[in-house]
Amino acid sequence: MAGAYTTPVDLTGFDNSARLQIGFKLTRLAARFDIDNKAGISRFTIETVSMGNGRRGSGYFPIRVYGDLPEAQPDQLITYPIHAFYGEDANNGLQTGAFYAYPSPKDDKAYMILKGKYKVNETEMKDVSYQIPFTQQMSDGNATWFDIANNHRYTISITKAAPYHLDANISVADWADDGTFEYTPEDSNNELLISTPPAFEGLNKYDKNTQTVSMALETGSTFDMSINTTSALSFKKTYTGGLNAQQYDWLKISETTTGLSSKAIQTNYTYTFELQKDYNKSQYPRAIVRFSNTMTGAETVLFVEAIAAPQAISIQQEAGNRNTIDTDLLKASMYRVNGSKLKIKMLCFDGITMTETPEWLDVKPVSTNATETVYQFTLKNDYRDTAEQEGTVSFCNSKHMKLKTTITVKLSDATIAPDFSALGGTDNTYTPPSDDTPGKVNMTICSKNNFTIKTLSRWGTDRCRL
């Protein structure tokens, strides 16, 4: 820590036994990293923590990072030694003080390194390593790096893990928990109490182990959540799927009541969860609701998953693929050519069962994880000239088969549009087709005469016959 007392002090001689007391503020040199992870929910058990592109050190007076500014030389950045991730709440909630580091300017592009085990299934664990960049999403969808500042605490909240990807949120706050005091909140570990109206008791279900509510998408569907705490609460709602998913705001949360609990020092907060009125979009991403204790900074997380039909999510097609799909309208367009393919991602927390496909279309899963499956539509070569113009593919919720999503697939001809307007050559002309008479090019017979025909085709052209 570093600090300064700027007011001049009168230093007396040894013959004066007076004692002078002064006070001044100390500022921490390091930044603190807290990690919020529940292995039972994220399926990721953290074993070690480190940081890449960090500074080697910092000066005290003034606090200034080691190396050049604003951009360090390559030999001025290091990867911090691996630090074991342990503590009373490690992998079971918010573990404070999981890691400490020197300040780092944004141009260093520092990132956190988390290593551990990913739970593939009930019998298989996989070694994984993730890098979490210190970036924030802007309103235009671009990511910008931010500084790692001294005397600040950075909370890394892990929401979802996959074998090759980790979803996490980063929040920043002043490291202001200075001083020494005794505090015994006795708040029952911020336990959540979920209550559902009788009409939805069999539909809206709460899993205490994963702190997840499965919510029916029916008119009037609602549930209440209560929590006791010794301090004021705030909450923040986000949806999994990045910045693009925030437009699908299907869940409404309102604070209905507050009051003293049976313990006089505690306050009971009750929140009502319900469907947004007039919500008419086709996607219902998983909601993450974080309740934060304003005194301690501790967080309690509740997940809300819609009991919905499988949701269609657009993904990047292979280069040169002209087939398209509109995931809002649930309509796909495919060309009648050999090898015509289209990929689509389907999301359903209860699993997906495919129940309907047209005879001329082959639909197979090409990748899958716990809740998402990528399917590939392939036009069968023997059916390229089928008389049918469109067909439907249906996906059902595996636990609620009445919840169905149907995608209409329309077949389009891969037409060729020749352009005879600029034949070139010597006195060459073009006669358009008439009735049953095809068009023809009239070519004058003379030395080195030639003509050019331009064609337009989304799939390219080959010369078939002369």
The whole-angstrom separation of Cα 296 and Cα 278 is 38
Give yes or no for a contact between 330 and 312, defined as CB atoms under 8 angstroms apart: yes
**What is the pLDDT, as a whole number, of residue 182?**
41
Q: What is the number of other CB atoms lying within 10 angstroms of the CB of residue 100?
A: 14
Q: What is the number of other CB atoms lying within 10 angstroms of the CB of residue 181?
A: 5
Please tell me whether residues 299 and 345 are part of one structural domain: no
Largest Cα separation within the chain, whole Å, is 125
Q: Is the residue at 75 inside a domain?
A: yes
Please tell me whether residues 333 and 371 are part of one structural domain: yes
The whole-angstrom separation of Cα 293 and Cα 230 is 8
Classify strands 267-275 and 222-229 as parallel, antiparallel or unpaired: antiparallel
Q: What is the DSSP string of 19-39?
A: -------EE-SSEEEEEEEEH
Q: Is the residue at 10 inside a domain?
A: no
Residue from 348, 327, 212, 221 nearest 284 by CA: 348
Please tell me whether residues 134 and 49 are part of one structural domain: yes
Please tell me whether residues 330 and 423 are part of one structural domain: no
**What is the pLDDT, as a whole number, of residue 290?**
92
The whole-angstrom separation of Cα 111 and Cα 144 is 13
Beta strands in 185-275 (DSSP E): 193-195, 205-207, 212-216, 222-229, 233-239, 251-260, 267-275
Upper half-sphere CA count for residue 456 (Cβ side, 13 Å): 3
- CATH number of the domain enclosing 376: 2.60.40.1510
Please tell me whether residues 341 and 272 are part of one structural domain: no
Please tell me whether residues 34 and 170 are part of one structural domain: yes
Q: Is the residue at 6 inside a domain?
A: no
Q: Is the residue at 187 inside a domain?
A: no
Give the residue from 307, 336, 355 where a domain finishes: 307
Please tell me whether residues 166 and 36 are part of one structural domain: yes
| Structural domain count, the chain | 4
Give the residue from 307, 334, 365 where a domain finishes: 307
Domain that holds residue 104: 27-174
Please tell me whether residues 341 and 441 are part of one structural domain: no
- CATH number of the domain enclosing 100: 2.60.40.3690
Q: What is the number of other CB atoms lying within 10 angstroms of the CB of residue 71?
A: 12
Quick one: tokens of 448? Answer: 């080195």
Q: Is the residue at 354 inside a domain?
A: yes
Classify strands 267-275 and 361-368 as parallel, antiparallel or unpaired: unpaired
Q: Is the residue at 8 inside a domain?
A: no
3-state secondary structure 135-163: EEECCCCCEEECCECCCEEEEEEEEEEEC
Against a cut of 0.75, is the pTM above it? no
134 burial via Cβ count (<10 Å: 0-12, 13-18, 19+): buried
Q: Is the residue at 9 inside a domain?
A: no
- CATH number of the domain enclosing 214: 2.60.40.10
Please tell me whether residues 203 and 221 are part of one structural domain: yes
Give the residue from 145, 174, 203 where a domain finishes: 174
Please tell me whether residues 296 and 316 are part of one structural domain: no
Q: Is the residue at 400 inside a domain?
A: yes
Residue from 314, 322, 318, 325 nearest 413 by CA: 322
Please tell me whether residues 93 and 202 are part of one structural domain: no
pLDDT by 10s per residue, the chain, length 466: 565 656 676 666 555 555 566 666 677 878 899 999 999 889 999 999 999 998 877 776 667 777 888 888 888 888 888 888 988 889 999 999 899 988 888 899 999 999 999 998 888 899 999 999 998 877 676 788 888 888 889 999 998 898 888 989 898 888 876 544 344 444 445 678 899 888 888 788 898 888 999 998 888 899 999 888 766 788 899 998 888 889 999 999 998 666 544 444 467 788 999 999 989 887 889 999 998 877 667 788 999 999 888 889 888 898 888 899 998 889 999 998 888 999 999 988 788 999 999 999 999 999 988 778 999 999 998 888 888 899 999 999 988 888 899 999 999 887 666 777 788 887 888 888 788 788 788 888 888 888 887 775 555 555 555 4
First vs last C-alpha separation in the chain? 85
Please tell me whether residues 56 and 132 are part of one structural domain: yes
